[in-house]
Amino acid sequence: MKLARFDLSGKAAIVTGGCSGLGITFSEALAEAGSNIIIADVLVGTPQCQDVCSGIEKLGVKVLPVKCDVTNPEDVDNLITTTGREFDKIDILVNSAGIFGENKRVVDMSPENWDRVIAVDLRGSFLCCRAVAREMIKQNEGKIINISSASSFKALPGMAAYAAAKAAIIMLTKTLALELARYNIQVNTLSPGYFITPLNRDFFETEGGKKLISGWPMRRPGNVDELKGIIIQLASAASNYITGSEIPIDGGQWL
User: CB neighbours of 79 closer than 8 A, spacing ≥ 6?
Assistant: 14, 38, 40, 66, 68, 128, 131
Active site residue 162: yes
Residue in 223, 215, 172, 159 with CA at minimum distance from that of residue 193: 223
Helix axes 228-235, 21-32, angle to 10 degrees: 60
Q: Residues 162, 183, 194, 241: which is the catalytic one?
A: 162
- DSSP per residue over 30-79, as a string? HHHTT-EEEEEETTTTSHHHHHHHHHHHTTTS-EEEEE--TT-HHHHHHH
Q: Which residues are catalytic?
A: 162
